[in-house]
Structure 1
Amino acid sequence: MKKLRNFIITFLLVFLFSSTFNFSTWKVHAQDNVTKVNHFYSADTVVSGTTTPNTRVKYVGKNNYGETYGVFSAVSNSDGIFKMYVGNHQANTTFTIYTYDSTGDLIDSDEVFVLKASLDAYFSIGFGNKMVEDQGEIGETPIKRPMPSVYYTASQDSKIEIMVNDKIIKTDKAGGGYRLLECPEIHLGDFVQIRVSKGNVIKTYELLATSYDIYDKFMYVYPISTSKVTSWSDSIRFYLPSNLKFSGLLTNTKNLLPSGVIKQSYDGNTTIFPLTLYDGEFENVIYNRSIKLSTSPKPDIEPVSQISKEVTGFATENSLITVLDEQNTKLGESLTNENGRFAVPVNKLEPDSIIKVETRIPNTDKYDYSYTSVEEVYVDDLSDNNDYITGQSSFGKEAEVFLLDSNSMIKSLSVNGATTKISKKSIGKFTLNKGSMFKLYIGKQKANSIIQVELRENGMSLSLPTKIVKDKTAPVISGVKNNGLYKADVIPLFNEGDAIIDGKIYVKGTKITKEGHHKFIVKDSVGNTTTIVFRIDKTAPVISGIKNNGLYKVNVIPVFHEGKATIDGKTYVKGTKITKEGHHKFIVKDNAGNSTTLLFTIDKTAPLTPTVNKIKSSSRSLSGKGEKGSEIYAYKGKVRFGHTSVNSKGTYSLKISKQRKGVILTVYAVDKAGNKSKSKNIKVG
């Protein structure tokens, strides 16, 4: 089967190239040794070189099974440069490039030795099941094409740079194994350069983005957009990639118009159009298939709901479209455009009803129609604090949620003239459960974002009404907190809106200095409000019952009316009597952080009884020893005749008048706390 398949494909390709290119227009002269091929590596899929200008180069090679597979062919340009897709080859093998003149005679050939790619590099370009959406051509809806991907491997930590038209579109770091990089920037027919580098080694390899692979088969179908064609049509428009050349489509023109649109006459009978696509310069075949068209004149109606403002779809170009309700009342009417698209404005559609869409060619008897139901759909309001978008619909097995970008407007053309189409970004795809209700997780979206849900079923889609994400997020206040207590001036900050403080307009950035309770309110432009209350307290706690540096000979009870206290570093229970003698540190700290600190001493111990030196009737002083810092009091009977302080050496001396012999004098000491010693009596000698 493989040999038969290879024979058929080889025959078709040879026939295709011999029939679609006019060799007689080439003016060349056969000569030897004119074809020079550049180095070709095992990571390349494109062989390049120079030969006689405007000649055809061909290659017949073998695939990985060792079987001959197809004839690859390209045309050299006016400078004699050619690039030809030949697929990947194993290193240390050879293949031959042949050059032919306009009559098909062989001019020259060159054998190519396949070099081993540096850094163990291997690359290929494929088109996967995942689709990438492109904006459609004028008058068309966006089309989808297979996502191009670069499949590669290279030595660990090699730098990979993928380029199209000398512009880097993707970079990566090789991990040593195979990797797949999605590259939506690559289009069918692009020559892609891949630069791989590590250390001083830098190599560039070239590939061609083609739907044809080395296993002799065309891969995923590239969608070709056309105008609506029916048995009433007299022409058809094809929308092809504008970077490519083509043959087929029952036309002799090889080059697309600049717009990428070609109009083909149509007799209403032919339903298959052969199509081959080539790269724009060297004419490598990159795509080959036939397009089959449906020719029913019945309108194709896109899904419609009770909130639809238009009934849209496709019918024969320039036909008259009329929309009727179940009572045959006309709801709207308009003409299709040159692509067969119609958009009939309607006022109000009843959910779960049936509408009839008629099509007719004016001034003829050509008439047909289709029916469709009006789907019942609803989408609930969405706010910026919701994670889900909810609603219900009688239509749809799948859903996709889009974020519409109102700042990126893409010009399009509607049935009634120029309009704008908003580009969109997919947020997520979902499978809908049975039943009409849906709840789709999309995460929180920014306020004023535009969200749209698109429902799909059986190849059709229905866009639900756009929803603007409502701003339900209250302003954020920083710098102060609700129920906050501050011991210093504050400056409230807020991210949006206007503010008032204690009922008065607050000027942003103003320092709030007044002590006491405050109420701060911020309201944004849509009425969301944030209110906080706070208090400023810059006054330190007041302590009574003791004084700073106080000295007490009795137990004390400090008194305070706010905050919490510590005594000598330990928690103090309010109202507790402090009895311990010695030095104390008493701190009270209020809730705002203001604090008051007092140091005091309790001394309840009486000083030692002072000593008195001998005294005579002739003595003019009274002296002795006592507790340092205490006061010495001297009495004669009940009369105090003097007092003095004990110095730092523990001695004292008190000047006195001469006393009569035999008189009894009394002396005692009083310390700083007021404690009194025992009395000492001495007799004047």
Structure 2
Amino acid sequence: MKEKLIEFSLFGKKNVLIQCFMLILFMFVFTNKYNAIASENEQNKEVDLEKQTASNRVERVTENEQSPSEKSLNDSQYKQVKNSTQNAEISNIGLKDNVSSSGEKVKQQKIDSKNISAQNEHSTTINTMTTNSKVKDNVGNSESSSINPNTLANKNSVIPTSTSKMQAINKYEKENISTNTEVEKLVKEQKQRNDSKLKNIKGNNSFKETYRDQQYVGILSIETDRTNYKPGDTVKIYTEYNKNFVKPVYSEAIIYSHRSSGWFIDDPPYLFEQTSLVGRTTSFYKKPNGNWESIISIQLPKNMVDDAFNITVNSWNDSQDKYTQSFGGLYNDLIIKVMNDSTTSTLGGYKVEAFDQSTISKEEHEGPKFIKYTTDKKIYNPKDIVKITIEMQDENDIAYVQAKLKTLEPNDYKDGSQKYIPMNFANFTRNVNQLSNGNWQAIIEFEIPSYIKTGDIILDDLLSSDNLGNDNKIDYDFEKKLFRVERTENIEKFTADSVADFSKEIRGKATSNMTIYAYVNNKQIGKAEVIDGKYFMKIPKQSAGTNIQIFTKNKYNNKSKVITVRVIDRTAPMVPTANKLTPKSKIISGKSEKYSTLYVYRGTTKIGQVKVDSKGNYKLNIKAQKKGAKLTLYAMDAAKNKSKKIYIKVN
């Protein structure tokens, strides 16, 4: 009896253990199913949200490429979903294996567990409530945290099924492909429209003046080396100038975007850009027909969009009344094209809706707002690089900024003074950076020509456009001087009048407020200030043939080039002497200035001449003269200075 009781007790204990195991397994499966349903509902919400986001992106995206931040975010979400699904599948496989193994063990036990189940009903209810509470906590926290499926499996947490995750991945991939396809289609269509507009513009690389009287026209013809260019090419502009005009001292060519007044269908597509570029020269060549010609080169930047350009040429010959200009689109019909851009994106960094023919409406229409613009210095020298920094505000990315400058014309300019050359400057950039305060900043550079004159530079205009094609422009302000150019080196020309051997001063012309110096054998002999463009410098008398070195110094104490003035002999030779003559005399002798030449005349007939030796003596053989004949003698030096005449009568 005791043995049976022990056997029954052991059997009872085993039965209780089996029932407990079955109960735990039941609760685990129930909890897993509950969490799977909750997770699937949550995934459906995520899919709907992603679908809505993708739909909005199709409407808003205007370029072929996503922004780096957006692309990074989508890829991150995609990888997170995919990795989570793969881990979930692995965990579910492991879970199924565990459940299968446990089930087989249970089947092998042939023990009735009804009594044990009844005895443990109360404890089962408590365990069920506790487990359900944990399930609710996990479901509630699933929205605010990232869950690792492997960690959940290790802690017996609920693992979602892979079906809903794979559905989310498939939907995301389909929507992403659809979005890219739609954007590519829109960009391709817009590019075709842009190409068509540019193709409709007829280029022309040659112009000859035939409408106006050439007698009054300074620029007779303009020609470029070709019509079509690529970004990075060099445009060569050949200009012919009227020979009846004063030879030019400076000429510049400006190419600027071909834009009609208002919107015209035949204008280039990038209406929100107004690119200008300037080339210049001071070299002119004479053609066989007598006219002057120049060659101006303009290097095209490599980041240009497809565009068409007019050409204006200005010619300056130091006379305001004869400042000759041939305006593109008005006086000449030159049009060149820049095409086949390969350095910018398909639409030059602009969105599809920036263009007038776009089927997508703009999100906003406000152009960039200029906050300030400054230069890195206030005074520049020739050959310096000017950096102008421009700060702007805009909700969208700024795609393009251009600045144009020009010299300020003097109030009272005297023709021929060589103190002013009218110049234009133009450049643009697409390198626009966003500052920490949210504003945008662009830096544009200009090089000061070596032959520019001292003077002020003003802003002609600033233009900026964002990637939606909204642009803004501010024009020049004559009252605001942007910076000043000063020539610290002394390259100003000056003159000196002739200096005679009896002179006690040197006169000439030079730039006002300079100081002029005179040296002989490295010794200063004179100094004077230049006033109103003239100077009068006192010096001691210098011997004929003496070399005087003359130069100027400006306010920076920089020395000019030295010019040499040779002292001219302006002193007549001394009056010569001569011996007495008789009808039998055949020699005239005497003294005169050494190295001079002595001349003897009878009336208007020259009867002889002789060179005076180094001691001032001369001797001239002549024919015997009749009694009473009157001879005239004088000396002439190498500088053609003649002495006073003397008269000798034959006795």
- TM class by smaller structure: under 0.3
User: Which structure dedicates a bigger proportion of its chain to helix?
Assistant: 2
User: Which structure dedicates a bigger proportion of its chain to strand?
Assistant: 1
* TM-score of the superposed pair, with normalisation by structure 1: 0.26
* TM-score of the superposed pair, with normalisation by structure 2: 0.27
